[in-house]
Amino acid sequence: MNDQANEETATAQETGGDMTPRSGVDINPLDILLRASYRNSVNALMGYFDSHGIPYIPRCEELGMCLMVHSDISRWQTSTRIRLGAWTGMAAVYTWMPHFLVESQCAWKAKRLVEAVNSHCEFAELGYDAVTKHVYARTQVWYADADLRPRDVESAMHATGAVLLRILRELFEISAYRKRIEDSVEALVRWLREEEMRAMVEVPEAEIEAVDDVAM
């Protein structure tokens, strides 16, 4: 675990991160005998982030482990909350851009845009949070009956960040250049289809390495 994570974990435990209820029974999921796949998945994900220099902040919750990750995509800073449910075999990936707020007068545009595109976006669910004024994208990575693959989580982070960035660019063009919402929906759907086609023809690095090993 990285130094920042250690410091934040200690701080969280001192300021409300302690998951011990009034009864004195510790319900911290990491202190409960859980199936090995969950423990392996949590350790593998944090180890992967450490080895790849991805900063994160861990926090123990009643239902599992939560990791906060901050990254930069095309000069935009994104925040991702990853929740690994101890009993669900699922990692929920929720991404937003903390420095991009949708003003109240533009909220209806954001809602119409994400609702229209949701039916065409297979790898993420889009939404608008009226309280935080953020447009967000979220998806899930399932690892039931198996260990979680960290690269799947990283791919989910990139996927949600990419579609979110595209949404915000279209919102900017609607506001700055009086672009029609219908035109933005068409542009987004076209981009999503192009991304889907590109994903279908791209060969994962693991498969390339396997082919090379066989050839040798």
Q: How confident is the model at residue 10 (pLDDT cuts 50, 70, 90)?
A: very low
Instruction: Confirm whether 216 is domain-assigned.
Output: no
Residues β-bridged to residue 141: 91
CATH number at residue 31: 3.30.1460.10
> What is the predicted pLDDT for the residue at 2?
54
Residue 125 has pLDDT above 90, yes or no: yes
> What is the predicted pLDDT for the residue at 62?
76
Residues β-bridged to residue 77: 72
What average pLDDT does this structure show over 132-138? 94
Q: How confident is the model at residue 208 (pLDDT cuts 50, 70, 90)?
A: very low
Read off the pLDDT of residues 159-185 as tens digits, 9 standing for 90 and up.
Answer: 999 999 999 999 999 988 889 999 999
Instruction: Confirm whether 94 is domain-assigned.
Output: yes
- Other C-beta atoms lying within 10 Å of the C-beta of residue 91: 25
Q: How confident is the model at residue 26 (pLDDT cuts 50, 70, 90)?
A: very low
Residue 197 has pLDDT above 60, yes or no: yes
Instruction: Confirm whether 146 is domain-assigned.
Output: yes
Instruction: Confirm whether 92 is domain-assigned.
Output: yes
> Tokens for 116?
């229209």
- What is the domain extent for residue 34? 3-211
Instruction: Confirm whether 185 is domain-assigned.
Output: yes
Query: How far, CA to CA in Å, does 169 sit from each of 34, 59, 165, 176?
Result: 43, 32, 6, 10
Read off the pLDDT of residues 43-96 as tens digits, 9 standing for 90 and up.
Answer: 899 999 999 999 999 988 877 889 999 988 767 789 999 999 877 789 999 999
Q: Mean pLDDT, the chain, as a whole number?
A: 78
> What is the predicted pLDDT for the residue at 123?
82
> Tokens for 166?
């595209």
Amino acid identity of residue 166, one-letter, is: R
> What is the predicted pLDDT for the residue at 204?
53
Instruction: Confirm whether 140 is domain-assigned.
Output: yes
Question: Where do we find the tokens 């935080």?
Answer: 132
| Count of domains for the chain | 1
Given a contact cutoff of 8 angstroms between Cβ atoms, the answer to whether 174 and 184 are in contact is yes
Given a contact cutoff of 8 angstroms between Cβ atoms, the answer to whether 74 and 166 are in contact is no
Torsion sign over Cα 72, 93, 20, 30? negative
* Alpha helix stretches (DSSP H) within the chain: 3-14, 36-51, 107-118, 150-177, 181-201, 205-215
